[in-house]
Amino acid sequence: MILITAPVHEIMIETFNKNGLDFEYIPTADYQLLFDKIEFATGIVVATQINIDKKMLERAIQLKWIARLGSGMEHIETTYAESKNIRCISSPEGNSNAVAEHALGLLLNLVRNINKSAAEIKEMKWLRNENRGTEINGKVAGIIGYGNTGAQFAKILSALGMKILAYDKYKTGFETEFIKEASIEDIVNNADVVSFHLPHNTETNHFGNKPFFSSLKKQPIIINTSRGKIVHTESLIDALHQKQIRGAALDVLENEKLKELSPSQQEQLVWLNAQDNVLLTPHIAGYTFEAAYKMSKILLEKLEIY
């Protein structure tokens, strides 16, 4: 029995049916539902809404594989799973372009005052000089995390004439004519735009913190389309107050459950929403129709089912 615990493209359903595989499609499953069913599962398809922890895996006596839609395995105890000979795969290639395009949209929106000026016209204000923009051609982008998404964003920005400095603690040898391997020091000293493309773990938690923002030399725009806890929200707000950064575009938040925000988190969100140089979107960067298809297809190929 295969358990599909997240919305998937119909290609996955069709392929499982075509191959005569026994599966149950429960896209709104929560932890308890999966826990109740997992002892009978040979494979599970998951997104981010359920933590596959040690307790869950101890119950998974027949499980052979875990297929993660998208990128980031931080909600899966992969080491313990692999110790039980459970194969763990993901499909970061599937939504990397979607995330990169969204990050570009956020960047262009901020530097050209698109949301701000559009809102002003709705108020019958025609303000040209006040909304004079900045071109990204010739500017420097610092990419922190050079995996699938970071590399795709670098590719798009370099095609638009930006100079790319890319840092990845665990990857080297990727420098090209258009992409320069860089240190964090290179990025904080030279970047006009800093974009985070990191998994969330103990190393990367609050990577964007007060010391980081204080070290920035060129008042860059900050973009985060990776995980909310990569950026410490209080430090980001302080950096905006201190004009250490020019603006911020966030597709992710430290707490994305808006009905469960603490009083301080509510206050932070209200303040961020009130700023003309801040743009927030609801974790939709990788959420396209094309990405849904590609992520499902890539998982099927890695499972050698497609």
Active site members: 227, 256, 283
Query: How large is the angle between the packed helices 263-273 and 233-241, nearest 10 degrees?
Result: 40
Q: Are 166 and 150 in contact (CB under 8 A)?
A: yes
The Cα–Cα gap between 72 and 150 comes to 13
Instruction: Give the pairing type, strands 87-90 and 140-144.
Output: unpaired
The Cα–Cα gap between 62 and 134 comes to 57
* H or E element, residue 249: strand 247-250
Residue 264 three-state SS = helix
CA-closest candidate to residue 252, choices 281, 276, 232, 277: 281
DSSP 107: H
100-137: burial string, b at 16+ Cβ within 10 Å, e else: bbbbbbbbebbbbbeebbeebeeeeeeeeeebeeeebe
